[in-house]
Amino acid sequence: MAYLTVNTTGTFPVLLLSTQIGNGAAGNTWPNSDGNLATDSGANAILNVTCLQDVTITNSTGIFSWTDFCSASINKVTTPSDNEISTNIVIDPEVFFGNSAANTLSAEYLGVSGLSQTRTEVAFRIQMNDSNVAANTPSGAYWYAGRGYISSVAPTVSPDSPVWVSPLTLAISGDIDSGS
């Protein structure tokens, strides 16, 4: 039996964010069906959110229940799902507050805090087991991808913690795709 290993060299999870949702000229949307994000060094620069402490990927299909006089049991039908990714991150100043040298339209420029404050929709891919972001879709990586909004950012520190940490929720808009 094979396992998805983490916490070994080259196998930790990584969250990638891009402000490039689509390129109207070709009608493409990002991420595409392979989980690829639009990338370049300008407006499409990807923000690599590293130093994740934990990750929870939730695909929650709703259920509507009702009773009637035709059955002695409860009836159920599915409703649209509500998907989200929750994590806690160790705050890296450039990732959290943005890179002022990057293109002002990019996720890299805005950082996690800026994306949340400006309510900017992002394309995302979370790689479960391969931290190699040099390749847009590394071989052997298992991933989830979609579009959504950053919320629930709340930096915190305590006397027994030497670094700032923050929860981060990615509220997914629409479907969540997965693959390898």
92: its two tokens = 């890296």
Answer yes or no: is pLDDT of 162 > 70: yes
pLDDT on residue 2: 67
Query: How far is CA 158 from each of CA 77, 140, 161, 170, rounded to the nearest angstrom?
Result: 46, 38, 5, 25
Answer yes or no: is pLDDT of 134 > 80: no
Share of the chain above pLDDT 90, in %: 44
Which pLDDT tens digit goes with each residue over 61-112?
889 999 999 989 999 999 998 999 999 999 999 999 998 888 788 888 999 9
Answer yes or no: is pLDDT of 135 > 60: no
Which pLDDT tens digit goes with each residue over 12-55?
888 999 888 865 445 556 777 667 777 666 666 788 898 899 99
Share of the chain above pLDDT 70, in %: 84
pLDDT on residue 74: 95
152: its two tokens = 């629930």
pLDDT on residue 129: 81
Q: Which residues pair with 169 in a beta bridge?
A: 86, 151
14-179 has which fold?
Answer: Factor Xa Inhibitor (4.10.410)
User: What residue segments make up the domains of the chain, in order of their start?
Assistant: 14-179
Helices (H), the chain: 93-97, 107-117
Q: Quick one: 7 exposed, middle or buried, by C-beta within 10 A (0-12, 13-18, 19+)?
A: exposed
Closest by CA position to 87, among listed 45, 51, 137, 129:
51
